Structure 1
Amino acid sequence: MTPLRLFALLNPAIGIVFALVFLVLWTNHRSQRHILLMSAAAGLYSVAALAQMFLPLSPKYGVNTMVSAVLYMTCLALFVEALLMRAGVRGNVPWLALLAGGIVGLIAFFFYVHEDLTIRIYVLNLGCGAVLVFGALRLRLARDPKPIDRVLFWTVLLVGLHFLPRTLLTLFADGPNGTVNVENYRASLFFSLLNFALIILALMLCLTFLLAIALDIIEGLRAERNRDGLTPLLNRRGFEEQAGASLARAGPERACLVFCDIDHFKAINDTYGHGVGDAVIRAFGRWIREAVRRDDVAGRIGGEEFAILLHGAALSDAARFCERLRLRVEAGEEGIIPAPWRVTSSFGIAKRRPGDTLAELMERADQQLYAAKRNGRNRVEG
């Protein structure tokens, strides 16, 4: 086996290693289907590289040509679908099938109808670049992009765009007419640089995607740590972290902090038991989640106490929000607590002042909540 062939074996080796890495990750995070797709893409990349190296270059049947083309295009389509699935961008499969199918069809045409190896090389390489550029552009549609998504975008885009200059330069370097024939294909400069480029590019794409998955896992663990056990809201630590960071990002933008709790909650527990008390807390948290906007921050900060940071809200806006929520709680929901008990709630509002810290806002909101309780409960103060 020639040194070049040994060097080229790094490509399938890289594919196998990353296929196993992603497969192990998926076995621990089975809800993340994009990890499984990435494992399949890496495994198929390995098979495609082996097919291109070892299948015969038959001028009559085109086994190497067609099998490697189908495998490479399917591998790229799986990679792009994994990339976009992770970002929450849907509806890509028909476009990927159309794009990949069209490229394979062109390769078949320039083998079986109008045989031309040079054009097939252009079609396959530029087709690979087109699929990756498509994936990068679709990635811009992600609704909630993270910093790693920008890294993925530029990595995939630049890898896709590189196919044009590299293909042109290496093909022209192989001869005065830029031609490569079947006999000298595997000894050509194009084939040598192709294998070297694929090693670098496969490592770049797989490592960047692996980094994205690792960051997703870390973020998921942090979110789990900050999530309240009973409600769909943050716990106290999560609320203070997110609300503090949110206020810092907002700069001088106005905001209001709401403290609220369930009236006579101890009596609910004493009368009906902790099971009913937990059901009331769960319902209260759900009603808050339904009432807040996307940019607001809401959390359960104590037993029956909740906090809500309302961005861009004047005091009158916050008062209307609290009144709507108070009426929703008062209206109740059948089956949560036995009649004739009626769950009510009290609210305290603190308006953000210039230079306020989150701790200062929370202290003033707490004072307003106690004022609401002193003044008869089931009311809004602020």
Structure 2
Amino acid sequence: MQSLIVTGGLAILAGSFVLAWFTGGRQRYLMLFAIALLTVDAAFIGMFLRPYVPDNIALPFSNMAFIAAQLTFGESLLQRRGKSFGRTFIIGMFVLLSAVYVVLYLTSTIEIRTAGINIGLIVIFVVTLKHIWIRRDDTIHDKLIFWTFITLGLMHTIRTAGVFFNQDIANPQSVFWGFLQLYILLLAMILTLELLASHFVERLETANTLRDRDHLTGVLNRAGFERAVGAIYAGRTRVMVSLVLIDIDEFKAINDALGHPVGDAVLRRVGAVLIDQSRAGDIVGRIGGDEFAILAIDLGAEGAGALGERIRRRLDEDASAGQGRQLSARCSVGAATINIERGYETLYAAADAALYEAKRLGRNRVVSGAADSGRDTEQGAGRVVPFVSERRRTDI
């Protein structure tokens, strides 16, 4: 009965990883982990068949299966981290440990064979551990997987040391061996739940990223930008927040004259410039057909104006240098900076008024202002105090 529980449980867990592989983008580490579980299952089946199969067949088969399972399991954890043992290491370790076991099987006692094979498995464990060592920024799932893996490695170490003090430990019919089977099944269940939970959390995060991303420009779309802004406003007080609005000048004329493929190239170029010029923590989004926005914390009014000017100058230099018609676009920029407690609507209205002023003054310029600290107008914006960037001679 115990044998059926162990083998059946491992097979069910392996099936869950196969299912996750089919439904989760067919990530290779999921299938490798399923193969590792099935290989452990095969090793246990070989041990259970010892009463019916000669030892010179059952024991080498089971131990080689354990070696293959350990290598496959380690490789799956490494591939989850974007790493790999490499084919040479995997084949070399399997051949070496299998040869060592065969030699020990022919020349030594069961205790020495058990210790020898477990020492080999510990070597694989240590190499794997080196590559998946946890970092501070790892998720809780990564840390749980790491510590469960350490527990699994300690099991090999304890069993190896115990063989020299109690020969019964090496006997597959012993109480210890029965406990070992159930313990491995328990660890496999824990690791399965941790890996599957981590996998589905990553899938959800990927889906959210795709949902919030503008696929043409690489920045956030309007919905994603608004969600990110909401998160900023929900978690901070007493800080200055800046909004920089960027509008491509005469974008409709570009589309009409040169076609939508060129218009798309212009949008991609603007998105790339915004990502390049903004800071790591800034929120960059495309909030309209030809309108972009950057929300920044603690940038200051001067910093917001300088950011807008850097963006305007980069696009202006591209257009002035004639780097292909797809890059020939200029922009108008409006920026505003206020205390975050005054609300996003007030900030947006002030930046939008600054952008309107930049267009009214002839486009291809930056107007940087701040909502007045006095009473807001009915539209929600205060007085805009403009700073107008100097235009290059080529703009005139």
Which range, TM-score by smaller chain? 0.7 to 0.9
Unmatched 5+ residue regions in structure 1?
Answer: 1-5
TM-score (norm 1): 0.79
Match among 345, 350, 368 for residue 331 of structure 2: 345
Name the CA shift for 1:161/1:305 in 2 (closer, same or farther; >3 Å).
Answer: farther
Q: Describe the SS at the equivalent of 2:216.
A: coil
Match among 347, 360, 366 for residue 352 of structure 2: 366
Following the alignment from structure 1 to structure 2, what is the Cα–Cα distance between the partners of residues 125 and 282?
56
Aligned residue number for residue 46 of structure 1? 41
Aligned residue number for residue 21 of structure 2? 26
Larger Rg: 2
Aligned residue number for residue 68 of structure 1? 62
Aligned residue number for residue 336 of structure 1? 326
1:7 aligns with 2:2: yes
Name the CA shift for 1:49/1:251 in 2 (closer, same or farther; >3 Å).
Answer: farther
Unmatched 5+ residue regions in structure 2?
Answer: 369-396
Map 1:142-291 → 2, pairs under 5 A: 145-165=138-158, 177-180=165-168, 185-245=171-231, 256-291=242-277
Name the aligned partner's letter for residue 76 of structure 1. Q
Cα contact 2:47–2:172 (8 A) shared by 1: no
Aligned residue number for residue 288 of structure 2? 302
Q: Describe the SS at the equivalent of 2:172.
A: helix
Cα contact 2:243–2:337 (8 A) shared by 1: yes
TM-score (norm 2): 0.76
Deviation sequence 1:284-326 (CA, Å, 0-9, x none): 2233234445433321111111122346645444444433322
1:83 aligns with 2:41: no
Name the CA shift for 1:157/1:292 in 2 (closer, same or farther; >3 Å).
Answer: farther
Following the alignment from structure 1 to structure 2, what is the Cα–Cα distance between the partners of residues 289 and 14?
49
Q: Describe the SS at the equivalent of 1:308.
A: strand
Following the alignment from structure 1 to structure 2, what is the Cα–Cα distance between the partners of residues 352 and 137?
49
Name the aligned partner's letter for residue 220 of structure 2. L
Deviation sequence 1:75-122 (CA, Å, 0-9, x none): 22222322232233x253366666666655554453334x13223333
Following the alignment from structure 1 to structure 2, what is the Cα–Cα distance between the partners of residues 92 and 352?
53
Name the aligned partner's letter for residue 82 of structure 1. S
* Number of aligned residues: 362
Deviation sequence 1:259-298 (CA, Å, 0-9, x none): 2121122333344444443332233223323444543332
Following the alignment from structure 2 to structure 1, what is the Cα–Cα distance between the partners of residues 75 and 346?
47
Name the CA shift for 1:19/1:247 in 2 (closer, same or farther; >3 Å).
Answer: same
Name the CA shift for 1:363/1:12 in 2 (closer, same or farther; >3 Å).
Answer: farther
Name the aligned partner's letter for residue 111 of structure 2. T
Percent of aligned pairs sharing the same letter: 30
